Structure 1
Amino acid sequence: MYSPSGSGVATKTGANSRVFVFEVEGMRQGSDSDKLTYPIRRSGRVYITVPYERMNQEMRRISRMGGRIVNIRPCNGTPSAESTASGNGLQSQQSGEQKKPMTQAKAKTEVPVNIYKPKSPFMGKCLSNEELVKEGGTGTVRHLTFDLSGGDLHYLEGQSIGIIPPGEDANGKPHKLRLYSIASTRHGDNLDDKTVSLCVRQLEYQHPETNETVYGVCSTYLCNLEPGADVAITGPVGKEMLLPDDEDATIIMMATGTGIAPFRAFLWRMFKEREQNPDYQFKGLAWLFFGIPYTANILYKEQLEELEQQFPENFRLTNAISREQQNPDGGKMYIQDRIKEHADQLWQLIQKPNTHTYICGLKGMEGGIDEGMSAAAGKFGVDWMEYQKQLKKEHRWHVETY
């Protein structure tokens, strides 16, 4: 645990013992969100010494309180010539003073895991429960947002949380948790670091013996959850689907149905939170392939199309609408057909060292994706399956299917 010394410099030693100085403008006092011990100046600039492992948390706090990070530099423990360190780790400078620009430093994000476990889950509250499927679509898919205030549950884009439905199973034991991909950014849909959102489809299938309709226990519980109701949450978990810190990366996303959840989090962080994220300004290319049965089942349709219009150089959206579109062979248009259609271009992108590919949704989509990429790679004498193994070793091929 981090414990500041009298000079404001962390006393922790080891690989993460590095300390950085944040130069911040416009910081205001916020008693409800200021959870750290640093005093806040109302005018001018402040200099905050921050240990390496808490940089991301401090960036969020500064953003919440209206501050703007001007520069970040490594701290060697010696005050700079232009400012004097105070006893609490802050350094001050009058607003009108001129100073040399400092090199911006990027902090490696610490991945939170299992903050809350099944035996002691966090009890959140449902804030909202909204239907995402439009008239004419199939099934029900809900966007749920939970209140996390009062706890320490925080997460990153690409992680999952567990939900423990109330009641008991057929054997009289408490229901086990179900994992759901998080659909919101680390700041939450309200941008206050106090919420988490899910995209949940109600599971429905025919019993193979009785032929009666069976509904999923947890998905039905969540889809029918009323605002204000308590919900038991565990986690977060997962490191496979994390978004890279590289702002110039190429991010290829392939999703079916509610597999869009982590990609909504990615896209919202890339494009909808640009003003709130001084530490992350995406300038690369994000390409989403999305498979659904009907146009009415395109989840977050209006928001995705808006992003496509606002950021035409940085975001592409390619839908595969199986019941309304046909592939070149006259069959239904599935996501693997779209991959085959764009395989040559995807092959060129995937060869870039900062390209990451993510697959989330039905497991059946993987075979078609491999087939399309094999054809493209084969034109250059490359064995796709071997090449894919290399991508996995480089942590650039991310898969989470079911």
Structure 2
Amino acid sequence: MALSQVPVAVPVNGDSSIRRSMFKTNNVTFHDKSWSSASRLDLKTANCSIKKSICSLHVSARVQPLTLEDVKEPPLHLYKNKESYTGTIVSVERLVGPNAPGETCHVVIDHGGNVPYWEGQSYGVIPPGENPKKPGSPNNVRLYSIASTRYGDFFDGKTATFCVRRAVYYDPETGKEDPSRKGVCSNFLCDSKPGDKIQITGPSGKIMLLPEDDPNATHIMIATGTGVAPFRAYLRRMFMESVPTFKFGGLAWLFLGVANKDSLLYDDEFSLYLQNYPENFRYDRALSREQQNKSGRQNGMMPGIQDTLKRVAEQRGENWVEKLSQLKKNKQWHVEVY
């Protein structure tokens, strides 16, 4: 129960500057203006929006983040389905360009610091309305991987970010999109407005937690679409924030699958890390979700990844089945599909 309220020390003393130690990157861009991270900035309404990349900052006081590092175990299931937490929508921004197949949104939620989480965890969302399969009951909870660090995009420990693709359905006979059917929760989130209330549960999940026992380890991350959410959180912790208790000196390698250029998510953030930390970060847009089955729908990504890794192993004279078994045994292989 002590985990349900983790305070963040934010002295309200009229000083709106951000501590130099909070950012690793040399510059942050606010609407095409470059500012030094050590400058004294009025960030009460400042938005960092680089093309399709959202890294909003709403900070009105000096941030002291270390309190959120004190807890040694990840918070789990602080709020359950029948006793959810009522959060507030802060902002909803479209992440993709006009030629992307479908719509993906960057959704920021204010949890007031009452639902703390670690990088790699998920929140549940209970969309408003009645469950069509169980009249009189609320809708089922949907899980969304959190795309921000434990400090949130505003670096105050009070927000969490989702990367949400508006769900669409296809006619099984024609393979074409059926506009009469929509995803209940994803459409609720993508259509939300600032100030709207949202019922959240969690946090949940330990499988995708960022391993921090070895700060010099190599992390290989493979994702398509909104699957990049936890990796965005990892990379912000590694390369954007400067937390004294976690100094990343290893190698992070991100393989990001996209349908086309307009579908790239957080590309400018990742490109900035590549520019500033070339020895510690590699970034490849190497995988694709273009492949379709006979009905015109996209295939799942895991078989393609496994086949690729199998070919690489064979080229190196290794047995992929044995290699995969060893990776799992060493807890070096983590998969989450959502």
CA distance in 1 between partners of 2:333 and 2:219 (Å): 10
Query: What is the deviation of 1:64?
Result: 3.9
2:160 is equivalent to residue 196 of structure 1: yes
Q: Does 1:111 align with 2:74?
A: yes
Structure 1 residues 390 and 108: alpha-carbon distance in aligned structure 2, compared to 1, 3 A threshold:
farther
1:166 and 2:144 matched: no
Residues 124/394 of structure 1: CA separation in 2 closer, same or farther (3 Å cut) = same
Larger radius of gyration: 1
Give the match for residue 255 of structure 1. 223
Counterpart of 2:283?
Answer: 317
Q: CA deviation at 1:259?
A: 0.3
**TM-score where L is the length of structure 2:** 0.74
- Given that 2:251 and 2:281 are in contact with CA atoms closer than 8 Å, whether structure 1 keeps it comes out as yes
Whether 1:186 aligns to 2:126 is: no
Which residue is 1:156 aligned to? 118
Q: Is the 8 A contact 1:124 1:233 kept in 2?
A: yes
Distance in 2 of aligned mates of 1:159 and 1:365: 21
Kept after mapping to 2: 8 A contact 1:254/1:290? yes
The question of whether the paired residues in 2 share the 8 Å contact of 1:294 and 1:321 is answered with: no
Q: Secondary structure at the match of 2:312?
A: helix
Q: How does 1:290-369 map to 2 (within 5 A)?
A: 290-320=256-286, 322=288, 364-369=300-305
Alignment match, 1:390: 326
- Structure 2: gaps spanning 5 or more residues: 3-8, 14-61, 293-297
Cα gap change, 1:270/1:333 in structure 2, threshold over 3 Å: closer, same or farther? farther
2:88–2:195 CA contact under 8 A, matched in 1 = yes
Take 1:258 and 1:170, find their aligned partners in 2: how far apart are those partners? 26
Number of equivalenced pairs:
272
Measured after TM superposition, the shift of residue 285 of structure 1 is 0.6
Q: Helix, strand or coil: the match of 1:110?
A: coil
Local SS of the residue matching 1:244: coil
Deviations 1:190-217 (A, max 9, x none): 1111111100000001243797322100
On the 8 A contact 1:363/1:401 being kept in 2, the answer is no
Output the CA distance in 2 between the equivalents of 1:199 and 1:187: 16
Q: 2:119, 2:209 within 8 Å by CA — same for their partners in 1?
A: yes
Shift of 1:228: 0.4
Assess, with a 3 A threshold, how the Cα gap between structure 1 residues 130 and 66 changes in structure 2: closer, same or farther. closer
Aligned with 2:194 (options 227, 230, 234)? 227
Paired residue for 1:30? 11
Q: Which residue of 2 aligns with 1:140?
A: 103
Q: Distance in 1 between matches of 2:299 and 2:247?
A: 32
Tell me the equivalent position of 2:211: 244
Quick one: structure 1 residues 183 and 131, their matched pair in 2 at CA, closer, same or farther if it must change by over 3 Å? same
Give the Cα–Cα distance (whole angstroms) in 1 for the partners of residues 204 and 262 of structure 2: 31
Moved more, 211-220 or 186-195: 211-220
Instruction: List alignment gaps of at least 5 residues for structure 1.
Output: 3-27, 33-62, 69-105, 324-331, 335-361
- Cα distance in structure 2, aligned partners of 1:303 and 1:266: 12
SS of equivalent to 2:335:
strand
Q: Among 216, 241, 247, which residue is 1:281 paired with?
A: 247
Contact 2:110 / 2:160 at 8 angstroms: preserved in 1? yes
Go from structure 1 to structure 2 and tell me whether the alpha carbon gap of 1:108 and 1:373 turns closer, same or farther (over 3 Å shift).
Answer: farther
Contact 2:255 2:284 in 1 (8 A): yes
Q: Secondary structure at the match of 1:400?
A: coil
Matching residue within 177, 184, 188 for 1:217: 184
Residues 10-159 of structure 1: pairs in structure 2 closer than 5 A: 30=11, 64-65=63-64, 109-149=72-112, 152-159=114-121
Q: Does 1:175 align with 2:139?
A: yes
The DSSP-based 3-state class of the residue aligned with 1:232 is strand
The answer on whether the counterparts of 2:291 and 2:299 sit within 8 Å (CA) in structure 1 is no
Determine the C-alpha separation between the residues in 2 that align with 1:29 and 1:131: 30
Is the contact between residue 123 and residue 230 of structure 1 (CA under 8 Å) also seen in structure 2? yes
SS in 2 for 1:397: coil
User: Are 1:320 and 1:333, in contact at CA under 8 Å, matched by a contact in 2?
Assistant: no
Provide the C-alpha distance between the structure 2 equivalents of 1:193 and 1:118, rounded to a whole number of angstroms: 23
1:166: how far off? Answer: 0.4
Residues 1:237 and 1:146: Cα distance change in structure 2 (over 3 Å): same
Instruction: Pick 1 or 2: higher relative contact order, CA cutoff 8 A, min separation 6.
Output: 2
Alignment RMSD (CA, Å): 2.8
Q: How far apart, CA to CA, are the structure 2 residues paired with 1:200 and 1:162?
A: 13
* Matches of 1:107 and 1:390, distance apart in 2: 33
Report how far residue 394 of structure 1 moved.
Answer: 1.3
Alpha-carbon distance between aligned partners in 2 of 1:111 and 1:230, rounded to the nearest angstrom: 26
* Identity in percent: 45
For each residue in 1:104-134, what CA deviation from the matched residue of structure 2 results, as whole angstroms up to 9, or x when unmatched? xx98831111000000101000001010001
The correspondence for 2:314, drawn from 378, 382, 395, is 378
Report the alpha carbon displacement of residue 65 of structure 1 after superposing the two structures with TM.
3.8
Residue 253 of structure 1 aligns to which amino acid in structure 2? M
CA distance in 1, matches of 2:149, 2:236: 7
Q: 1:387 to 1:108 in 2, by over 3 A?
A: farther
Question: Hey, what's the Cα distance between the residues in 2 that align with 1:401 and 1:363?
Answer: 13
Deviation at 1:301, TM superposition (A): 1.5
